[in-house]
Chains A and B, each alone.
Chain A
């Protein structure tokens, strides 16, 4: 278990780790006991406070909130993709005015809080005479906000596509737009699928802010469900937290799975050319992919700004390629040297 920082331990190191393990377990147990004790003395563990969550009508109400959350997230996702695409293309456009407008839009929505955008979608539209209701307001705000974010991801995606593709398309005489549509875009979309699913996880978290304009998503239902007064804040938010955790966690897993599948398949074809280098690389890659995914998510934070992950990934891929070439070269040389 040797890593960048920690080398293989000697006997003294192992003894220290054992001691640290025991101490940290004890500390953990004590802390946990304290929490449970505190919960108990505060009367939070009584059955009466949790019982409301076993009543089907209450659960149904809460799950209705979950459905609303997913509904808003999906709607926002679909429209964000479409609009984000146009802004990505707009930013790559050759027309300076179009480019400028797109940059302004993207930069604006990337530098205000989502809550402010939600207020714009709700109060702003209301002031403009459009009483569209909480759902539409929320979706409009999420779309305005996320299409800015997605357009950055798309832009990076389009740019990261092999330049050779563009050149090949140009060589066979395709003009700009047909080329974009037929060659570049489909590939960009395919490559973006994992990022889009990851973004869906973020979006479903974002939907919670619809709370402030009265959208009946999980959190609002969590404090408005019929049994709320029998339960309490603590119980309600713990349950809401658990519901959210499961939803977001599953989406994140899915995104990671898709990403890994995509990477291994593209690496697989790459490695086939340089025979042999294959299998361990893929194992190593999944580790690295994990780190990259995590970094990407971290960079995305509550809302993805610049798309660091695509950069690091590109760099990682380049290095990967480099080592493989080196290995290939080495083997080649060994063979060559053998001959003379």
Chain B
């Protein structure tokens, strides 16, 4: 379980993140949504333990994340960054194998042979035929799959994804989230993903967290979160909400007229009341 206590981050006197207290206690898919500059990536980076908060703390299984050794942390928490892996000169197989780093000795040796584990990840991500190709010869979507395969062999309990579907076309977006969901259910992981697309988030997430201006604005199930009011007050856009034909997840349909950029203060308050109770 991973949780934050009054988490804040201030850079050069500007508060980017403010007073975030949230607990991801059960296995499941958690989506973080919100407009650009709301602090989503900042929150994810603090959860990863690589960036340090200026206020509050992140706890992993009750222990301050800053007190956990890097390798030990990497066995529990894995991250796919925005934009995925860079186009480097290493092969797909070598890249995926690096996911074993936290389990290895100083020269990359491991007690048990990680070969079968790597094969399984390559197979699952449909990368077997590309395994000797160099990353700099792959498309963005393929590199994103390599990043997931690397994460798979890292075998974490907590998975942090920062906009994993950006730059992918819709076919790959669905494929990627299908794989993540299936894998999450199989291993009972906590998956926390920053998602840009509200409809995708609603379709795949068990719980959603809405960020606005560096604060947590709302949280709850997709049914509680995805409403016309919320879209208006958080994004300043007009939208209708309809039910998805499979399973009834709320889906937004944007309306063309009157995309308001600012919202009156009373609206914020009222929406918060309805949503957070």
Instruction: Determine if chain A interacts with chain B.
Output: no
